[in-house]
Amino acid sequence: MYYSFYSHLLDLLRRISGSASPGEKMVLLLRMAKPVILRSVGLVKPVSLTKIPGRYLAHQEGLPHLPVPPLKQTLERYLLALKPIISQEEWNHTQELVQEFGKPGGVGERLQKGLERRARKTENWLSDWWLQTAYLDYRMPVVLHSSPGVVLPKLQFDDCQGQLRYAAKLIAGVLDFKTIIDNETLPVEYLGEKPLCMNQYYQILSSCRIPGAKRDSVVNYTRVKNPPTHITVVHNLQFFQLDVYNSDGSPLTVDQIYSQLEKIWNSSLQTNKEPVGMLTSQHRNTWAVAYNNLIKDKTNKESVRTIQKSIFTVCLDAPMPRVSDELYKSRVAAQMLHGGGSRWNSGNRWFDKTLQFIIGEDGSCGLVYEHSPAEGPPIVSLLDHIVEYTKKCEMVRSPMIPLSMPKKLRFNITPEIKQDIEKAKQNLNIMVHDLDIKVMVFDLYGKNFPKSQMMSPDAFIQVALQLAYFRIYKCSCATYESASLRMFRLGRTDTIRSASVSSLAFVQAVDDTTKANTEKVELLRNAVKAHRAYTDMAIRGQAIDRHLLGLKLQSIEDLVSIPEIFMDTSYAVAMHFNLSTSQVPAKTDCVMCFGPVVPDGYGVCYNAMDDHINFAISAYNSCADTNAARLAHYLENALQDMHSLILQSQKSKL
């Protein structure tokens, strides 16, 4: 998942597209861009996430700082990355701009020195900038545009008892994980021999995004004086505060939680409530205005604070319309991403909340999470823990001390708030209709097959995606794959550019009947190797995207004009990610899903298991050129064809 200054501009341009004259548009654009520029030059205080004290601090401090790559290296690699996605003529022009930018004593060198100074002064030269640019300044709704969902396999119940029983186990599972985090006994993760930054694990519980007029913020209540001891439960659009610890500090048992959930369920049977949570699905500027209006009322303010402060949220969803087995997982992915619309469960959410676990009465299950504090892997590893926990734990009815009724969070709805909710419903329903999503289980093979061929499974899947896209569109496009920077302190992500000179050579050759299979396999191996080499470079902090972003933000901070290379069409093409992809591996047979990052693009997330691969592919219905099911179909064929190509060429060698 990515976001860039370029996307800000796109967002601004989209918003001014209706105005009258070009001059007027320019004035509007400058006015709207001003806060972005002010923030970039540091005139608005940046928001930092919580620092973790204790044992982990020692681990964190042992981690290396994110390097600033050499300028010359990035510029050369940038030109190479452009090759498969722009024309030779554009490339020649860009090469001149790059030479000018990188010449000795030029703008590039000055900005590079600025970045290196920043790197010396900060724990991570990128992390605050990234948090702001990619998330907190981003004004589009978090729904579809930012928050990923996770689809779990269907659970074996079809009624509210089953739903509450599972919810109770799930809550106990999260609390078990929280104990591990609180005690700082979470094992440090490794990539190969390198320990990883564990900071994101400390940001996902007891945190929430808060809308702001120009920039949002994210709050974390883990290390405050009185950390929260409650979660929020939403049922039938009504919010409840559920205390999950006994007075002696021990977590409630599964049967205690179950009986509390029963009370919540029974006291929220009326359905005539205003879906106040729907407000959180709005465009961030709109939500910020509605938010200030909502919390003017003291009761509303208290209720909102209780949700924000809670450890996490559990959404007990109403059953969704039944669909065929083939469509079931795609339907659940949509339910996780947006809740199904105002008639269904979209109001049964607080989309600003970092973690929302969703359990439907019909056995559908998963989560949606607000992206700013963490990437997918820590979320999914928490999910793996919960799934294992729910398998092991049994509900044993034991005599219990009666617990008090969970507190219902009240909202006083004024006509103005009601109007804001109505507007939010309309916009949400438009987003719901716009989402085109397909979950596909590819079951011919999983990651064991590429491994048996001594190829990286991730690179193999990325090359298959390139082939699928090329077969549909007859060209390659800028492709984003998230690479973890967690080898570095406070590391988040960089971009693996999956469209390469080698991937283009392979996809152009594969359907050429004049070429021999052995040659095609050779090209396939080269493409896979090139992808893995880019991955290795990215996870070592030597990729180009964040470095280029840093140079651009540095020019804004230095108040110099934005260098030509960033105003170039090739840069715009390079940042227009028609394919935005990510691998989020999990032990559980689940898949993460997210929306496309450009109006004419796809979001593709996958979990490669040993013998099958789960894919979630998204697109927008409003774009006539994209279709999630079509890309899924071409991807399936590409994976099958690459498999047969390898096996055939092996047979012919025998």
Structural contact between residues 437 and 293, judged by C-beta atoms closer than 8 angstroms: no
Q: Which residues pair with 356 in a beta bridge?
A: 313, 368
Q: Is 378 in the site for ligand COA (CB under 6 A)?
A: no
CB of 459 to ligand COA, least distance (A): 6
Q: Which is nearer to ligand COA, 302 or 610 (CB)?
A: 610
Closest approach, Cβ 52 to ligand COA, in A, equals: 20
Q: Residues 409, 539, 597, 617: which binds ligand COA (CB under 6 A)?
A: 539
Rounded Cα–Cα distance for residues 352 and 431 (Å): 17
Catalytic residue flag (residue 612): no
Question: Which residues ranging from 472 to 491 are in contact with ligand COA (CB under 6 A)?
Answer: 482-484
Stretch that binds ligand COA, among 201-209, 395-403, 426-434, 449-457 (CB under 6 A): 449-457
- Per CB under 6 A, the segment of 47-55, 311-319, 375-383, 571-579 that binds ligand COA is 375-383
User: What count of residues does the chain have?
Assistant: 654
CA distance 585 to 608: 6
Q: How far is the CB of 492 from ligand COA (least distance, A)?
A: 8
- Element spanning 55, H or E: helix 55-61
The answer for residues whose C-beta is within 8 angstroms of residue 626's C-beta and 6 or more apart is 436, 596, 600, 601, 602, 619, 620
Does 454 help bind ligand COA (rule: CB under 6 A)? Answer: yes
Shortest Å distance, C-beta 453 to ligand COA = 8
134 binds ligand COA (CB under 6 A): no
Query: What is the rounded CA–CA span in Å between residue 392 and residue 125?
Result: 43
**Judged by CB under 6 A, which stretch of 77-85, 284-292, 308-316, 369-377 contacts ligand COA?**
369-377
Q: Please report how close the Cβ of residue 451 comes to ligand COA at its closest, in angstroms.
A: 4
Catalytic residue selected from 338, 371, 385, 531: 371
Applying CB under 6 A, the span of 7-15, 201-209, 315-323, 454-462 interacting with ligand COA comes to 454-462
Residue owning tokens 């505060």? 241
Q: Of the two residues 361 and 375, which places its CB atom closer to ligand COA in the complex?
A: 375
The span from the CA of 169 to the CA of 254, in Å, is 6
Site string for ligand COA, 456-475 (x = CB under 6 A): xxx-----------------
Run of H or E residues at 449: helix 448-452
Binding residue count for ligand COA, defined by CB under 6 A: 21
Residue 566 vs residues 97, 125, 416, 423: alpha-carbon distances, Å: 10, 20, 43, 37
Structural tokens at position 294? 């909502």
206 interacts with ligand COA by CB under 6 A: no
How far apart (Å, rounded) are the C-alpha atoms in residues 238 and 273? 7
Residue 144 touches ligand COA, criterion: CB under 6 A: no
| Contact residue for ligand COA among 317, 375, 545, 568 (CB under 6 A) | 375
Cα gap 172→237, rounded to integer Å: 23
Closest distance of CB 493 from ligand COA, Å: 5
CA distances to 326, 514, 621, 650 from 627, in Å: 17, 31, 7, 35
Q: Which is nearer to ligand COA, 284 or 371 (CB)?
A: 371
Closest CA to 332 of 452, 456, 438, 226: 438
Phi, psi of 219 (to 5 degrees): -110, 150
Regarding beta strands 479-484 and 579-583, do their DSSP bridges make them parallel or antiparallel, or are they unpaired? parallel
User: In angstroms, what is the minimal distance from the CB of 460 to ligand COA?
Assistant: 7
Catalytic residues: 371
* Residues found near ligand COA in the complex (CB under 6 A): 1, 148, 375-377, 447, 451, 454-458, 482-484, 493, 535, 539, 582-584
